[in-house]
Amino acid sequence: MKVVGLITGIAILSLTILLTACTRAESNSNKDLHTIPIAEIVISEEEREAQHLSEVLEAYQQYIEVAMDTLNLPSVAYAIVKDGKVIHQYTAGVKKVGSLDTINENTVYRIASISKSFAAVLAGVLVDKKAFDWEDKIKTLEPRFRLKTRSQTDSMTVRHILSHTTGLRKYALSRTIQSGKSYSEVFAELRKASIENKPGEIYSYQNAIYSAIGNVVKRKTKYSYERMLDSLIFKPLQMPNISTGYNSMMKNENRAMPHTPTDKIYWKSGDIRTKWYNVAPAAGVNASLADMTIWLNAMLGHYPEVISPQALEQVFEVNIPMNEDSDYYETWAPGLTQASYAMGWRAFLFRENKIMYHGGWVRGYRPEMAFCPKEDIGIVFLTNSNKNDLSTNCMPTFFKMYFQAKEDHLKKREPINIPTIATPQSIETPK
């Protein structure tokens, strides 16, 4: 396994703290304690932050390594950013089980539904450019748009489709998407999708109608969704390996192959499928760890020349509460008091801090990403394995460790709790 270690800055700062402490001890050895200025005997906030981060990164690294070995995952790549810098990254494992071809920070994975964040942010950039507005009607922007009823068709807005408040039945037209039809065919079949509520009333996760934002982008710019994503997001952010679509993935030789579990708790590799690439805004992006660290920092506001603070604020605005019986309340417990959907991102209130989050899953890939704007910290996790306990728990585990350590430094010192993942008795291949 390859480890790209704890940040050099923290190590240097820790050494500086040690040397400074020794110098102070020698110079003050003959002084009365009461004559020492308070600044010389109290740890600074900068020193406290460095110590806090160092402990969190060490504990989290241990958690990842143990969990990866326990679950026998083919590969894992994750990174943590803080204050605009990559403070820790780790890559381990192989592109394909049975080979010796190891992954690195430039190895490309499918990021599945995290692709939705790119669609929402691209829309935000175009709203900034006055191409359209969040409250514009889809029917006005794309005259071919049709749903089952005229009232539903006429009232649907850009905000509705990007916040999963369309009123359509959950996962509408998923079978049509998986059948391999082109998106133009999927788009035409939206008129058959079952309607359960009026737009804006409930949260109901979607892929087919979410991807209608691609049609809107093309109508208003005269260029394809993929081209606009490349010209307004990928290239300005200088993302080295990112792409959209099946063909782009297959052209990249440094790609991680998908793996599904067997009944013996081992992983078998398979071919990269074309399924879900036909809904590019919902699930069509391929990206490496190097790309996703840039995306994290962009979401944390460190590329204002590409994505304005106003665009980010609008995209992150909460639109609808998620269902109270959502699995997230269990996975992120204790600490999660509110789960909502913004646009392209879930918004959690976790230990009184707003966490923006999204995960993804297509066959053989299970990525995760989350960040806290207030703390200017974020984490991304990539793996070429199907649904697994590490992907499910890696985001809440990190933020539990982070906020626990921060609270302990402000109160009393306690060791960071490192959770364990049990070895499964069997793994069922998802249907």
* CATH label of the domain that carries residue 114: 3.40.710.10
Whether 32 shows a pLDDT value over 60: the answer reads: no
Using one digit for the tens of pLDDT, what is the confidence trace for 394-409? 999 999 999 998 887 6
Whether 220 shows a pLDDT value over 80: the answer reads: yes
Distance between terminal CA atoms of the chain?
31
Whether 137 shows a pLDDT value over 60: the answer reads: yes
65 falls within a domain: yes
Where residue 327 falls among pLDDT bands split at 50, 70, 90?
Answer: confident
- Which is higher by pLDDT, 371 or 418? 371
* % the chain with pLDDT above 70: 84
Q: Which residues are CB-contacts of 2 (< 8 A; sequence separation ≥ 6)?
A: 90, 91, 92, 102, 104
CA distance 424 to 70: 9
What would the mean pLDDT of 167-192 be, rounded to a whole number?
97
Contact 257, 267 (CB under 8 A): no
Whole-structure pTM value: 0.87
316 falls within a domain: yes
Where residue 195 falls among pLDDT bands split at 50, 70, 90?
Answer: very high
Whether 21 shows a pLDDT value over 90: the answer reads: no
What's the total number of domains in the chain?
1
Whether 340 shows a pLDDT value over 80: the answer reads: yes
Which structural domain, as residue segments, surrounds residue 110? 2-410
Query: Residue 181: its pLDDT value, please?
Result: 95
Query: Residue 410: its pLDDT value, please?
Result: 61
Whether 271 shows a pLDDT value over 50: the answer reads: yes
Contact 28, 36 (CB under 8 A): yes
**Residue 285's closest CA among 242, 231, 240, 227?**
242
Name the residue with tokens 């006429």: 154
Query: Residue 263: its pLDDT value, please?
Result: 75
416 falls within a domain: no
Query: Residue 407: its pLDDT value, please?
Result: 81
430 falls within a domain: no
What would the mean pLDDT of 173-180 be, rounded to a whole number?
96
431 falls within a domain: no
CA distance 204 to 161: 10
- Which is higher by pLDDT, 324 or 355? 355
DSSP labels, 260-273:
EE-TTS-EEE-PPP
81 falls within a domain: yes
424 falls within a domain: no
Whether 364 shows a pLDDT value over 90: the answer reads: yes
Whether 173 shows a pLDDT value over 70: the answer reads: yes
CA distance 116 to 118: 5
429 falls within a domain: no
For the ranges 15-24, 52-61, 258-267, the lowest mean pLDDT is seen at: 15-24
Whether 1 shows a pLDDT value over 90: the answer reads: no
- Which is higher by pLDDT, 22 or 98? 98
CB-facing half-sphere around the CA of 387: CA atoms within 13 A: 7
Whether 316 shows a pLDDT value over 60: the answer reads: yes
Contact 73, 92 (CB under 8 A): no
Query: Residue 425: its pLDDT value, please?
Result: 44
